[in-house]
Amino acid sequence: MTSERTELAANLARVRERIDRAASRSARHPEDITLIAVSKTKSAAQIRALYDAGVRHFGENRIQEREAKLGHLSDLDATWHMIGHLQSNKSAKAVRLFDTVDSLDSVALAERLDRGKKDFNTEVTEGTEKNREERKGSAANPTAPLRVLIEVKLDPGESKSGIRAEDLAPLAHAVLPLPHLNLRGLMGVPPYFDDAEQARPYFRRLRQLRDAIRAETGNHLLPVLSMGMSHDFEVAIEEGATEIRIGTALFGEREKA
């Protein structure tokens, strides 16, 4: 176990070093780039090792998996990101388990999350919260609006989550008035390229979409661009990423599902 903890800390140091270099190449500050450790398929012990080494943001892509690990991690003061496709019937759970939903991709989901957050807040303020132990342990104000990012589909060939670029403005306009959601920006996943340089136009496009939607919604700031994974995060940083989602480079390879 000790050697695994050492290895994870060394992986983290290498990733931080790469972030620093990419930031200085693009005249940016490394503190302006949030590292999200994507811990899907990884154990609570591995997550804790990275937490102890200084990581404060973690990403999971399945409700059940987050639930399964929660009991082992509820003492961590971390920010938990939902980064996978979320079914709207899981909204009530999602608002208890996550601080931010980075993969918002429909009006229906936004409305369910808003309602789920409202109900949750009522339980917290009235002290009638059921299943208190199911709630994430973060110290953030539990009744603050739920942070969300809209996921834009950057890869037309992939039919996974995310909305089409042409649906972005209508979705943003539907989300902004919802009182229990706080729209902060966009997330995107470009196609996989062996040469990460080829992902650059996709990252650039996400940034341009953000700039366009900012103008279109009356300069609502939308400061967050969540883009870049283990194999392409340096290019994403050069193109303006404010959050990068790193699994393999921190934890090592995942078992294939």
Ligand X SMILES: *Cc1c(COP(=O)(O)O)cnc(C)c1O
Tell the smallest beta-carbon distance from residue 60 to ligand X (Å). Answer: 9
Q: Which is nearer to ligand X, 84 or 240 (CB)?
A: 84
Tell the smallest beta-carbon distance from residue 232 to ligand X (Å). Answer: 8
How far is C-alpha 144 from the geometric centre of its chain's CA atoms?
A: 17
Cβ contact 100:81 at 8 Å: yes
| Number of chain positions touching ligand X (CB under 6 A) | 14
Cβ contact 22:234 at 8 Å: yes
**91 contributes a contact to ligand X by CB under 6 A:** no
Q: Which is nearer to ligand X, 171 or 199 (CB)?
A: 199
Tokens 């609570």 correspond to what residue?
A: 44
Question: What's the rounded Cα separation, in Å, for the pair 243 and 225?
Answer: 6
Question: What's the rounded Cα separation, in Å, for the pair 138 and 98?
Answer: 9
Residues in region 24-83 near ligand X by CB under 6 A: 38, 40, 61, 83
Q: Which is nearer to ligand X, 51 or 251 (CB)?
A: 251
Q: Which is nearer to ligand X, 41 or 138 (CB)?
A: 41
Helices 200-216 and 168-175: angle between axes, nearest 10 degrees:
50
How far is C-alpha 34 from the geometric centre of its chain's CA atoms?
A: 10
Q: Give me the 145-184 binding string for ligand X, x by CB under 6 A, dash otherwise.
A: ----------------------------------------
Residues in region 196-255 near ligand X by CB under 6 A: 229-231, 245-249
Tell the smallest beta-carbon distance from residue 84 to ligand X (Å). Answer: 6
Q: Which residue is nearest to ligand X (CB)?
A: 247
Q: Out of 82, 175, 189, 241, which residue is the one contacting ligand X (CB under 6 A)?
A: 189
Question: What's the rounded Cα separation, in Å, for the pair 77 and 89?
Answer: 27
Question: What's the rounded Cα separation, in Å, for the pair 119 and 95?
Answer: 10
Dihedral sign from CA coordinates of 203, 207, 209, 210:
positive
Interface ranges with ligand X (CB under 6 A): 38, 40, 61, 83-84, 189, 229-231, 245-249
